Each structure stands twice: as C-alpha cells, then as structure tokens.
Structure 1
Amino acid sequence: MRIVLWFVMVFCCQLSAADKTLTVAVNIGPPWAFYEEGKGITGIDVEIIRHVFTNMGYKTEFQLLAYNRLIKEFNAGKFDVASPAAFSSENGYLTIAYLPFKDVAVSLKRNNITLNFIGDLKDKKIIAYQFASAVLGDEFTTVITTAHYLEVAERELQLKLLVNDRTDVVIGERRLLTYIGQNFFPNETLAIHPIFVTKSYGAILKDKHLQQLFDQELATLKTSGVYQQILSKWP
C-alpha cells in the first residue's frame, strides 16, 4: 500500500511540474541571452536554464531585461527566476555558479592602448555595464574616481561609442563584446585586455526547494556533457 501511495505522489508531482510554467528574467546581451529571428530567445544562459527545467518537468517563459530592471522586478516578485544573479536578495535563493563571466577591458587596436593592470585605466575615458563599479572590486572603484567614467546599459551603444572615438575603453564580458564587435562592427579590430579575474555567477529563484533541485539537475547536466556543449556553441 505504501509503495502504491509513493508512486501516486510521484506521479502527481510530475503532473504538477508539467503544468507549471516558470517565468524567467534574463539579462539581455548576446551570446548569453538574446533574441534570434526564427528561433526566439536563446543564448548560453537561456539554453542552460531551459535544459535544466525541462529535465525537471517544467516549462519556461523567458523575458529579456536590462540588468537594473531585472533586479527590480525579481525583487518585486514578478519572476520565478532571474539570471545572472550578481546580487543577493531577501526574496530569493542563489543557485550554484554556472556562468563563467570573463570581464575584460576592450579598446580599438588602431589606438595602440596598453592595459596590463587595472591601474592602467587611470585618466582614461571608460564606459562600462550597469553596476560594474559595484562588481569589479575596490581597486577599480578607486581608479574610476580619476577617470571619465560612465555606465551604459545598451551593449551595442557601448561599442558604437568606442568605434566613434567617444571613449577609450569599454569594460564588459569578453564573449558578449566579441560577439557584438564581430556582428555589428566587423571592420574594426578590438584589442582585448584581460585585466580582471573571471567570476562565475548563477541564477536566483524565489523557491528554495526549486533552487535545490535546480542545483542537482545542473550537476547532472555538467556530468552528461550537455553543459559544455552549450558553452562551446558560443566560444
């Protein structure tokens, strides 16, 4: 009787999961999360999250948001999941890290700018992503006090300002800036300056039990090789 009851409970849980659609806010920025004609919302972060929840029996509904709006709306309870989570919240639970973000400084190769250390940014004109000053550490925070510094949400605009010589340096994630440079400014060659340490981030979920299950399924995804296959699609 107990065995029958256990199977009934498992079956009911599976039905419940199958009927549940999770709302997921992702920070817009290719190749991590972006809209592709004929395919919809895709990218590294999107595909990892989609695989994990599909394997758990859930459907997912994604929305692309600027990062400040992503944080605000998750904290307001509008989404079940938000990613990446470079912030903590009383309203959610952080997953294990799975997004290997490599922040770099980028300049135009034709300008022959040398950047070997964070301190070399001193007195430069710098554009960075939203909340970069809170993410990149104390040394960076000190340096930008003597620099012409601006945080801009739109990634294409960041590189457009660089290409038009309105800034010396753009700071952002390597895959993202490389993708935008190749697709929108193919006639310019970017110089990549790896002056920051790699930081990995996860997602944040409203439900603690769901977060724990997410972590378990993510570990399975890595073991199966699917996780690495997704990363390799957008090197």
Structure 2
Amino acid sequence: MAFALLMTERYDMLRLFLICCLFAAGVHADTVRLAVGLAKPPYIEAGGRSGLEVTLALATLRLAGHQPQVVQLPQARGLAMLDRGYVDAMLTLVPGVLAGICYSQPLLYYRNRAIVLQGSGIVLTQLSQLAQYRVAAFQNARQLLGDGFRQAVARSPGYTELGDQDIQNRMLFNRRTDVVVGDELIFHANPTQRDLNNRSQPVISYALFPSSPRHVGFRSERLCRDFDRALLQLKGSGEYERIQQSYRDKYRLPRN
C-alpha cells in the first residue's frame, strides 16, 4: 500500500510538472502584434513583412518563442495604437518617444549622413559648413539632429525637409540642392540614382552625425526582456549578420 501511495504521489507530481510545462509553453508562444511603419527600403519593404529591420525583428521574436503578427501603419497611428494597447510592440523607436513603454536593446543603427555629388567639389568636415550650401533633409531633421545642425541650416541659402527620399535624390542628382541629409542606406536603396538625362553620378557621404540606435518598443516588460535575450542569441549564432548581408547584397549597399 505504501508503494501504491508513493507511485500515486509521483504520478501526481509528474502530471503537475507536465501541466506547468504546457502552461509555460502556451504563455511563451504568445502572438505578438507588431506595428511596422510604411515602406522605407531597405529597412521596411512594401507590405511591411520584409526589409532589414522587419526581418531582424521577426527572426528575434520567433527565436524567443513568440508568433509575430505584422500590422503596417503610419508612424503616428502606430504610436497611438501601441499607447492604447491595440498592438503589443512597434518598430523602430527612439527611447522616450512614448511614456510607459519598455524599449529593447538597439535592433540596429540608422546612419545619417551628409551626401554630396562627387563632382561638386564639396568637402564637409563639420556641421557648421552646411550653412554655406542648399540642404535637403528628412522630415523633422531639425528636431532630431541637434542644436549644431539646427543652427547651421538656419543660415543655409536654401533648406528644406522632405518625407520622400525619392524627391531628395532627384534634387541632388539634378543639382537643385547641394547636400542631402538622411540615412545612407535609404539613400542608396532608393531607385532614383540618376539625373533627368538618365546619367548616374558618384556621391560622397560625410559622417557628420553619430549613428542613431533604433529600438523595438513593447507594452510588456516580459516580452521586451524575451526579445533582448533572443537578440543576443541571434547575434551569437551569426544569423543577425547573415540577414544584414542579404540586404546589403540585395540593394548593393555600402558596408561602412
């Protein structure tokens, strides 16, 4: 009888262990509703389910045991939905843009550069030199690139901010602006790399700005920490670099 009681206790413990494992697996395999911005190759491609930052985020979430569900939205709407709990996470944010959100370790770094035509003869070594030239920058650049940039372009003979990289490229290649300020990879991934006469021209990029870390914002700290752990694993396995290289090859992007 003592043996039967012992076996019953062991069976109950085993059953409890299995139930706990199943419960933990169910919790860990959450569906994560991930807000993704509008198309911005190479980081986000049309449809929102591919692109460098999207692929890295999806691979990391899956490695963490979660099932991502992509929702493509304009940034302002995505932030509002994240704030209200209609989505669980959002790509890719600067810490502090939304209160009460857990920000992951940097998923990647944007590379803002001052880009000029090689034939222009323009050499840039410091931000203050931008005051001498016509500058076309991305939207909200004056708010995001610091006081030095804001003071320089305030004296520029022609400064504009544009949301469309295609227009920036056209302005540069057709000499309607002297300097384009924006992410170097977005610039090179954009198909507009020729002037009105269909001529391509070499460019030079000047690293006047520090690289900008971009993070995934989560409503849940648990999901955020899961993501951080999996991101380290993705990098350690070599898969992170493989994904980056695949997009460098696809868009013929500069490595450094």
Quickly name the TM-score band, shorter chain normalised. 0.7 to 0.9
Pick from 208, 221, 226 the counterpart of residue 221 of structure 2. 208
2:192 to 180, 184, 198: 184
In structure 2, the partner of 1:33 is: 44
CA contact (8 A) 2:56 2:243 kept: yes
Larger Rg computed on CA atoms: 2
Q: Distance in 1 between matches of 2:23 and 2:127?
A: 55
CA shift for structure 1 position 230:
1.3
| SS of residue paired to 1:150 | strand
Q: Which residue of 2 aligns with 1:230?
A: 243
Q: Tell me whether 1:24 sits opposite 2:32 in the alignment.
A: no
The reply on whether 1:161 has 2:174 as its aligned counterpart is: no
Are the aligned partners of 2:32 and 2:88 in contact in 1 as well (CA < 8 Å)?
no
Residues 87 and 131 (structure 1 numbering): CA distance in 2 closer, same or farther, change over 3 Å?
A: farther
TM-score where L is the length of structure 1: 0.85
Q: Which amino acid is 1:171 matched to?
A: V
The alignment-based identity, stated in percent, is 21
Number of matched pairs:
230
Structure 2 Cα separation of the partners of residues 4 and 56 of structure 1: 26
The equivalent residue for 1:102 is: 111
Q: CA RMSD in A?
A: 2.4
1:53-90 deviation line (CA, Å, top 9, x unaligned): 11223222334455455445534544322222124121
Structure 1 residues 9, 184: closer, same or farther in 2, change over 3 A? farther
SS at 1:97 equivalent? coil
CA distance in 2, matches of 1:95, 1:214: 7
DSSP-derived class of the 2:177 partner: coil
The question of whether the paired residues in 1 share the 8 Å contact of 2:101 and 2:219 is answered with: yes
Contact map agreement 2:29 2:67 (CA 8 A) in 1 = yes
8 Å Cα contact 2:38/2:46 also seen in 1: no
What secondary structure is seen at the aligned counterpart in 1 of 2:16? Answer: helix
TM-score (norm 2): 0.79
Partner of 2:5: none
CA distance in structure 2 between the partners assigned to 1:17 and 1:108 by the alignment = 51
Q: Aligned partners of 2:173, 2:232: CA distance in 1, in Å?
A: 41
Q: Give unmatched runs, 5+ long, in structure 1.
A: none
Gaps of 5+ in 2: 1-11, 195-199, 249-256
Question: Does the 8 A contact of 1:27 with 1:84 survive in 2?
Answer: no
> Which segments of structure 1 move beyond 6 Å, counting only runs of 4 or more?
none
Q: Structure 1 residue 42 and structure 2 residue 42: aligned? A: no
Conserved? CA contact 1:103–1:174, under 8 Å: yes
